[in-house]
Amino acid sequence: MAAYEESPPDEGYSEDPLTVGQSGSMPAHLARMTVQERTEYAMMIIALLPTSEVAEIVRRLRPRLYINFFQYLPPEVCLKVLGFLDPVSLINTARASREWMLLALDRKLWEQLYILEGFRVIRSEVVSFEESLNVERPRPSGQNDEEHASKRRATPQRIQPTLHADGDSEMVDVDTAGLKQGSIFGGRMTKEPVSTNVDVPMTSPSSSSARQFPARHSSNFQSRASRRLSSGSTLSSQAASPLASISSLVVVDRSDNKKKLNWQYLYSQRRRLEANWEAEKYTNFQLPHPHHPEEAHEECIYTIQHSGKYLVSGSRDKTLRIWDLNTQRLVRPPLRAHIGSVLCLQFDADPEEDLIVSGSSDATVVLWKFSTGQIIQRLRKAHRESVLNVRFDKRVLVTCSKDKTIKIFNRRPLMAGDLGYPDISQGVNPVATSLNNWGYNPSPNAGLPIKPPYTMIGCLDGHGAAVNAVQIFGNEVVSASGDRTVKIWNWPEQTCIRTLIGHTKGIACVQYDGRRIVSGSSDNEVKVFDKESGLEVASLRAHSNLVRTVQAGFGDLPYSAEEDREDAKAIDHEYFRAVDTGAVSRTVFLQRGRPRNAGSRKPEDITAYGAKLPPGGGGGKFGRIVSGSYDETIIIWRRDKEGVWRAQHTLRQEEAAHAASRAVQEPRRSNDTTTSQPSQSASLPHHGGNLALDVDAPTAPFAPGSELFYRHLVDITLPQGPAALRQALQAHPQVLNYDYLSESIEEMPPSTQQALDAVVVSAVAAQEQLQANLLDSSSWLAPSSTSRGIGAASSSHASTSQPPATSAPVAKSATTQTTSQPLTLVTPQPAVAAAAPAAQTAGHHHHHNAPHHHLPTNMARVFKLQFDARRIICCSQTSVIVGWDFANGDEQIIEASRFFAPIE
């Protein structure tokens, strides 16, 4: 052991990267000391030195303690290191110095961060935007063609070894910029500073931004930017400054001196948009514009789809209408060709496609030219009964019908041997139908006919009831039916791959992304299934009636598939470990009435094992599910910290229509304010958060919009007095529809009953006046559409009867039970096809001499909704389309949103 300690040091290893060797000979007595003894000896000596000498020692030791690795590593290596940082750490890195900021704000680095958050962009928009910025851009005269490619950094910000003398000394004021996440992502740090004596603006936009970035003439910038920067050059303020006259979306890439999309700015605006979704900040709009009610549909709207600036709607009035979302006006007159209600549609405004496909209760499918509205083709024999859904991709058109079948039509000429070409024998072929003859003999397929476009090439038959919805993904079609099953089909082979069972009533809607199947049903639930195993991985229950429409975006990351698979295995192992230890009973699956799992990973909550997805379906932190129901609500589902899906926000169509109508008459005072202004508080459900009473606090144990929620709201509001009740009724006027309010008031002390009654009477009068004004001014629900939508049905629907509305309570009850609905949602049993439960029928009740608390409400069952990165838009039993714009009037978010693809 002694010999080992006296062995020479390892010359091939050093703990100090800057220590080359001994600077001088060491006294023998110091050489015999250990490291700890030398440290104590040095500290004793330093304690005897004057302060000035100690400062000199610190100055000389500083290069060994603080290493700026950006000075020693190539920019490519530095960017690789910075790529492991999260956005907040990257912003803090940019604050360190100007030199670090140049790399920390690299556009490619932020593009990678944008993708790793689960966000997506519309690539075609990015390409066209950058091409438009550089159209006919002259080549800079100072460009050196012989410069070696390896010397041109691929990054737009090249590291400069030396800066101006005062460049590194200027740092961001922490007190001004702040360390809160909101200020980081609300900033306008989109350009490099033009001078070296200003702070980097990382906080929210303000009027000072223009002063911090003074304008420079573009010619000066281009001439200086083309100068070749060497290791000894300094950073010119003009060379570092982008063009101040262009949008913050633009930066100049010094690798090729071209304008490019500023990904750091794009990321910031996307995070601000997501913050609006989280905080429920939005503005409402409606189609048609309230100033042009004559453009509205004449009856209820069954289907919509929007993409980019366009929205197409189909109605019971047998027309399709194309809308411009920017102007809220019709693009052209209504499209008329169907003789029945338009139940479904899909469109693609891309000039290469230029197509609208619509399906109707007249059992036909019509193909329209989007750009002109002309009819391309009419498929008169597509189905025997109502066409309930249509979907198309580049290769095929898929339709489903009330006749229980799914039809496949080719969209391009189809030759023998092509994928999907119908087999002559119409049977299962265990071997290939054609062989490669290498050109020696005529091909056996040479004589087979070419199938023209939109020829039926397949029929998928297997459901026992109406097929209400279909989705296409690659070679697979997913269908949902009133027979309570979801089926996965291989359409080229026309075979059913898997049948999913889980719902207890007919299924109305379905979505498929290749890994997950999301469905909504008459059992009031939204379910998420694992496609590979067919197992249910989440069940979401908060609606009180049929879930008519659903859309999900799980926010998958580039590595989500592998990570979700490993998470599922780990959760299965935890479950089996809990079973082995006795923490979970082996008979837990046999318990009837056991609560459904909404995504919990706890072993006691697991309802199935062996899935390839973890409970909840996996995905990223920005995933969301939006569902619409016959209970007149739209619920935005988000995962909590434990991964469980929760009903985060509840929206109502009629309240959005009221707010959109008022917004035209009462312009917003500021883009930064939320929609919870006092003047608007009577109709928007999320205003409670801004009131003195936190009326939205008890949403955790109760589904927003449910009866239990409103009961709990009454319980916590009445003890606080009339002022609290007035605020609660302004935020949630739906409370007036429940007898529980009047019953609870009767139990209050007599001294407060009179004041509470006065608040209720005032709220009822305000709501009646609001609806009366709305009917007169915006024609939100025209009497003609009401009579046609609720009265005698067309020949394509089963007839219904409605007693005369003699009073408000009776009218509400009758409407709830008999209002017409998409009867195309067929289920095999009458119990499944029931439209509305008796729970929705409000009882008749009076409180003392006060007017009746139930308001005559317009039915607004949600038929179809769609969301993108910025908006939710829905149609319902009314003739108006309403939307929620989470850009909230912010011009910066609106400008950047053209590049945002929806969460997928």
pLDDT of 234 reads 32
Q: What contacts 635, CB < 8 A, 6 or more positions away?
A: 542, 543, 626, 627, 629, 647, 649, 650, 651, 703, 704, 705
CA distance 866 to 83: 34
**pLDDT reported for residue 274:** 94
From residue 637, alpha-carbon distances to 264, 537, 628, 647, 755 in Å are: 28, 15, 11, 5, 38
Nearest CA to 539 out of 470, 484, 595 is that of 595
pLDDT for 468 equals 95
What does the DSSP assignment read for 154-184? Answer: SSSS---S---TTTTT----HHHH-S-HHHH
Q: Which of residues 775 and 391 earns the better pLDDT score?
A: 391
Instruction: Please state, as a whole number, how many other Cβ atoms lie within 10 Å of the Cβ of residue 197.
Output: 11
pLDDT at 238 over 50: no
C-alpha closest to that of 898 among 87, 185, 326, 191: 326
Tell me the β-bridge partners of 121: 900
At position 614, the amino acid (one-letter code) is: P
- Report pLDDT for 252: 86
Whole-angstrom distance, CA of residue 674 vs CA of residue 901? 24
Q: How confident is the model at residue 450 (pLDDT cuts 50, 70, 90)?
A: confident
Q: 759: which 2 tokens? A: 């608040």
Would you say residue 120 has pLDDT above 70? yes
Task: Convert 629-668 to b/e letters by CB count within 10 Å (16 or more is b).
Answer: bbbbbbbbbbbeeebbbbbbbbbbbbbbbbbbbbbeeeee
565 or 218: which leads in pLDDT: 565
DSSP 580-629: HHTSS-TTGGG-TTPPPPSS--SGGG----S-SS-TT----TT-EEEEEE
Q: Residues 862, 301: contact at Cβ < 8 Å?
A: no
CB neighbour list of residue 463: distance below 8 Å, 6 or more residues apart: 404, 405, 406, 479, 481, 483, 485, 487
Give the DSSP letter of residue 427: S
For residue range 793-848, what is the model confidence (pLDDT) as tens digits? 333 333 333 333 333 333 333 333 333 434 344 333 333 333 333 333 333 333 33
Smallest CA-to-CA distance from 685 within 624, 634, 609 is with 634
Nearest CA among 879, 715, 825, 869 for reference residue 307 = 869
Q: Mean pLDDT across the stretch 856-865?
A: 73
For residue 136, what pLDDT is reported? 64
Those residues whose C-beta lies under 8 Å from the C-beta of residue 505, and which sit 6 or more positions away, are: 484, 521, 522, 523, 827, 831, 832
Q: How far is CA 174 from the centre of its chain?
A: 33
Alpha helices in 34-86 (DSSP H): 35-47, 51-65, 75-82
What integer pLDDT is reported at residue 432 of this predicted model?
53
User: What is the predicted pLDDT for the residue at 70?
Assistant: 82
Quick one: DSSP state of residue 51?
H
- Confidence band (pLDDT; 50, 70, 90) for 676? very low
High-pLDDT (> 70) share of the chain, %: 66
Q: Render pLDDT for 355-384 as a digit per residue (tens, 0 to 9).
A: 999 999 999 999 999 999 999 999 988 899
Please tell me the predicted confidence (pLDDT) of residue 604: 84
Could you give the CA distance from residue 712 to residue 541 in angstroms, rounded to a whole number? 18
- Please compute the mean of the pLDDT values over residues 607-624 and round it to a whole number: 90
Asked if 477 contacts 427 with a C-beta cutoff of 8 angstroms, the reply is: no
Residue 11: predicted pLDDT: 62
Residue 449 phi, psi (nearest 5)? -70, 155
* Per-residue pLDDT tens digits for 150-202: 444 444 443 333 333 333 333 333 333 333 333 333 333 333 333 333 333 33
What ranges in 329-421 are assigned the alpha helix state H?
none
Confidence class for position 141, pLDDT limits 50, 70, 90: low
Q: Number of helices (H) and strands (E), helices first, in the chain?
A: 25, 33
